[in-house]
Amino acid sequence: MLYKGTESGVQGNMAVLTHLSDIIIPLVVFFVVGYGITSGIKVYETFLKGAKDGLRIVVDIMPTLIGLMVAVGILRSSGFFVLLGNVLSPVTERIRLPAQLIPLLVVKMFSSSAATGLVLDIFKESGPDSYAGMVTSILMSCTETIFYTMSVYFLAARVTKTRYTLPGALLATLAGTVASILLAGRLV
């Protein structure tokens, strides 16, 4: 219950935060430019060099990105993910993981935007306040697009030996999935 006068105080604090967030980015830009100028760095030339390097990286990783997106699109439209969910549902239901989330778990490892499409499907089917919706929401925030991230960043940095990155990322995804199930169970 709000006390008289606290609602306007909360609105005033939100207004201050809104205005602060409006000026933070320009302040950071001005600080970086000012620091560069006072340090004797040619700020504009350095910016242009960085932009050129960034475009080269985009051109280098574009085939990988296109390949990932096409593969996810093919698997999704072929019905493979639905079949996978149906096959694994006896096991996943025992650990309170709804079968409709299996495709989401697989797709999320490759593409966050394709996973967002599956999230919308889950929300339409079950609702965002359902158990499946809660697990989905938490899952999306505590797992990473493993293969996308590895391919993009390691390709950009020209890393060829990934060592324990994939096992570590898969373990982190498993931990995020378990945390999603446990947290959603407490919320619903």
Domain parsing of the chain, residue ranges: 1-41, 52-187
Give the global pTM. Answer: 0.64
pLDDT number for residue 8? 59
C-beta separation of 170 from 105 below 8 A: no
How sure is the predictor about 6, in pLDDT bands with cuts at 50, 70 and 90?
Answer: low
pLDDT number for residue 131? 92
Rounded percentage of the chain residues whose pLDDT exceeds 90:
31
Q: What is the largest CA-CA distance in the chain?
A: 65
pLDDT number for residue 12? 66
Reported as a single tens digit per residue, the pLDDT across 62-94 is 887 788 778 878 887 898 988 988 898 889 888
Reported as a single tens digit per residue, the pLDDT across 122-138 is 999 999 989 999 999 99
